[in-house]
């Protein structure tokens, strides 16, 4: 009886194992005459590209065209860059120029190319106790700091967080105290917390527009040149990390900069939000933005 | 309140309309959690049985470790499994990171101590003389163990239900080792977190409703199995 029981157990385990492995990535697949050796490409990116819905447009188009399969890991820019530095991702789409340069300088990533931009905005409660409306980003933050108005920081080392920290440095304020609160979460969640606490926060425009229906926060500061939010794509260096899928990374990078990719980016959001969420910048460099 | 009602309705609509994306996510959720639970049962019940029947030096220490494991934080499991499965980790060659199998591994690790602990308790709570009686009546050790399992069926099924409940509701480890990849490793819990991030609270609620519905249906099924045969 027991032997039968063990037999049944073994049978279950083997079946389960095969079901479990059922959709393990196949390593070789032929597509349109050319052989793609490894079709899984790990894209490490920021939550804003996923939460805004942009990737839902770009990735299916890319996959259909090339036969690669993108595995999107949407984390903060800090974590995405860290994945690149460890060779755990193949391609990075992030928005923290200073931190990106460090990763390129270290040799972990190559071919850093500008893809698109949108802009950061400062949002806050309707009563705007620190009187920031229409001011420059610098004056607005100085006002918030001096008034000690509630400010919710992402606090997650993302691109937005890095931008915010650099702005505080720019105005010479070391934010601390009860008014400065670190959420430690993505942009969507941070906006919600700021809304609940009637505080200010720095957001990318795309996430704010996508979230607007749930928020009472208003856009108070926008259009300031210091608030540009620039996205670069980078390939993880295959010479440093032999296991990265560089062919796939290259294909994705090329797709983003192709006329099809740029067109998808430029058109995204127009219908739903009445304005584009991202501006396609293929061929431009940071110098074009005066950076 | 309005939102909660709307979420409920939307959840039902999504399920009934057979939205392929939601369906895919739901099926993967059942598969991953089901396989993880099955593995934890196959490993956990024999160990629980062995712990209950065998006396050895340091048994208390082993029991305390099992009890500790029952409440082990899933995020820690997720982190440790990631460290092993990273491309450049010790098991990187298997390229399991961001696959459903990686999620199965993490979830099985989370559920196994629960199954061990509860099946241990189920067997121990039987009359200790029962086993000796069975053996004196001519049962072999294996036969005696099998009869004990049958006798403790209620408690053992509770162990299975608890293990399953833990893994299907788990999000931290699944997010870390699975990555919430659309069409590949997105399960109901990670999809909920993502929709909250996107500000789609109604959709998040709808997905949660589907999760609750599935979890409840499976628990009902297991409960039925648990009590079936009581009349035998």
* pLDDT 10s digits, A121-131: 999 999 999 99
Question: Interface pTM (ipTM) of the complex?
Answer: 0.80
pTM of the model: 0.84
In terms of DSSP H, where are the helices of A71-136?
77-85, 97-105
Tell me the chain B residues in contact with residue A12 when contact means C-beta distances shorter than 8 Å: 38, 42
Shortest CB distance from A16 goes to which of B39, B194, B196?
B39
Adjacent-strand bridge partners of A31: A34
Maximum separation of any 2 CA atoms in chain A, in Å: 81
Q: How many angstroms separate the CA of residue B231 from the nearest CA in chain A?
A: 22
Comparing CB atoms, the residue among A9, A16, A51 nearest residue B198 is A51
Would you give per-residue pLDDT tens digits along chain B (232 residues)? 777 787 778 777 877 787 788 889 999 999 999 999 999 999 999 999 999 988 899 999 999 999 999 999 999 999 999 999 999 999 988 989 999 999 999 999 999 999 999 999 999 988 888 888 888 888 888 888 888 888 898 999 999 999 999 999 999 999 999 999 988 999 999 999 988 888 888 888 889 989 999 999 999 998 888 887 665 5
pLDDT of residue B12: 79
Collect the ranges in chain A with pLDDT lower than 70: 1-36, 291
Name the β-bridge partners of A69.
Answer: A40
C-alpha to C-alpha distance for A11 and A9, rounded to whole angstroms:
5
Kindly identify which residue of chain A lies nearest to residue B82, measuring between CA atoms: A88
The whole-angstrom separation of Cα A47 and Cα B195 is: 12
The CA-based dihedral angle spanning residues B156, B157, B162, B166, taken in that order and rounded to the nearest 10 degrees: 110
Q: Does B88 touch chain A (CB under 8 A)?
A: yes
Instruction: Say if residues B125 and B54 touch (Cβ distance below 8 Å).
Output: no
* DSSP SS3 for A37: coil
Encoding tokens for residue A180?
């400065």
Chain B residues touching residue A72 (CB < 8 angstroms): 179, 181-182
- Give the pLDDT confidence score for residue A225 in this predicted structure: 85
Strands (E), A98-215: 109-124, 151-153, 180-182, 201-204
Nearest CA in chain A to B86: A88
Give the residue carrying structure tokens 């709808």.
B206
Residue A50 tokens, joined: 């996923």
**For A210, what's the count of Cα atoms within 13 Å in the CB-facing half-sphere?**
28
- For residue B142, the model assigns a pLDDT of 86
pLDDT score recorded for residue A36: 63
pLDDT in the model for residue A211 = 86
Chain B residue at shortest CA distance from A192: B199
């Amino acid at each position: 009886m027991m032997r039968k029981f063990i037999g049944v157990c073994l049978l279950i385990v083997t079946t389960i194992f095969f079901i479990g492995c059922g959709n393990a990535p196949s390593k070789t697949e032929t597509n349109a005459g050319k052989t793609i050796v490894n079709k899984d490409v790990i894209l490490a990116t920021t939550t804003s590209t996923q939460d805004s819905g942009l990737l839902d447009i770009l990735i299916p188009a890319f996959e259909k065209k090339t036969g690669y399969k993108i595995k999107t890991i949407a984390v903060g820019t800090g974590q995405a860059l860290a994945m690149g530095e460890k060779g755990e991702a193949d391609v990075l789409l992030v928005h923290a120029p200073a931190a990106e340069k460090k990763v390129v300088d270290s040799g972990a990533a190559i071919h850093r190319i500008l893809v698109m931009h949108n802009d950061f905005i400062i949002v806050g409660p309707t009563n705007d106790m620190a009187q920031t409306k229409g001011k420059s980003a610098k004056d607005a933050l100085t006002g918030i700091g001096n008034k000690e108005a509630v400010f919710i920081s992402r606090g997650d080392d993302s691109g937005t967080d890095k931008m915010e920290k650099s702005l505080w440095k720019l105005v010479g304020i070391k934010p601390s105290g009860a008014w400065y609160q670190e959420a430690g979460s993505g942009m969507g969640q941070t906006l919600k917390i700021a809304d609940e606490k009637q505080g200010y926060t720095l957001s990318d425009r795309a996430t704010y527009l996508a979230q607007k229906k749930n928020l009472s926060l208003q856009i108070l500061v926008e259009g300031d040149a210091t608030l540009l939010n620039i996205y670069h794509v980078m390939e993880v260096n295959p010479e440093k990390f032999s296991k990265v899928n560089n062919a796939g990374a290259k294909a994705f990078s090329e797709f983003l900069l192709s006329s099809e990719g740029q067109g998808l980016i430029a058109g995204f959001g127009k219908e739903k939000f009445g304005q584009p969420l991202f501006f396609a910048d293929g061929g431009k460099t940071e110098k074009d933005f005066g950076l | 309140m309005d939102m909660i009602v709307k979420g409920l309705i939307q959840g039902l609509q999504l399920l009934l309309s057979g939205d392929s994306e939601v369906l895919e996510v739901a099926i993967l959720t059942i598969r991953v959690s089901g396989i993880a639970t099955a593995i934890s049962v196959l490993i956990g019940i024999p160990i629980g049985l062995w712990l209950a029947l065998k006396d050895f030096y340091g048994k208390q220490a082993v029991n305390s470790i099992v009890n500790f494991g029952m409440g082990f934080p899933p995020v820690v499991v997720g982190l440790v499994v990631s460290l092993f499965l990273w491309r450049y980790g010790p098991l990187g060659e298997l390229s399991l990171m961001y696959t459903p199998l990686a999620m199965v591994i993490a979830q099985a690790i989370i559920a196994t101590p629960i199954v061990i602990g509860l099946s241990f308790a189920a067997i121990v709570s039987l009359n200790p003389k029962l086993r000796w009686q069975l053996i004196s009546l001519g049962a072999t050790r294996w036969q005696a163990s099998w009869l004990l399992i049958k006798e403790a069926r209620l408690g053992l099924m509770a162990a299975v239900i608890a293990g399953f409940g833990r893994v299907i509701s788990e999000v931290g480890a699944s997010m870390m080792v699975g990555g919430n990849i659309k069409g590949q490793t997105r399960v109901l819990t990670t999809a909920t977190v993502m929709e909250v991030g996107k500000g789609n609270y109604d959709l998040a609620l709808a997905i949660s409703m589907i999760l609750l519905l599935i979890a409840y249906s499976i628990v009902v099924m297991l409960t039925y199995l648990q009590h079936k045969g009581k009349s035998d």
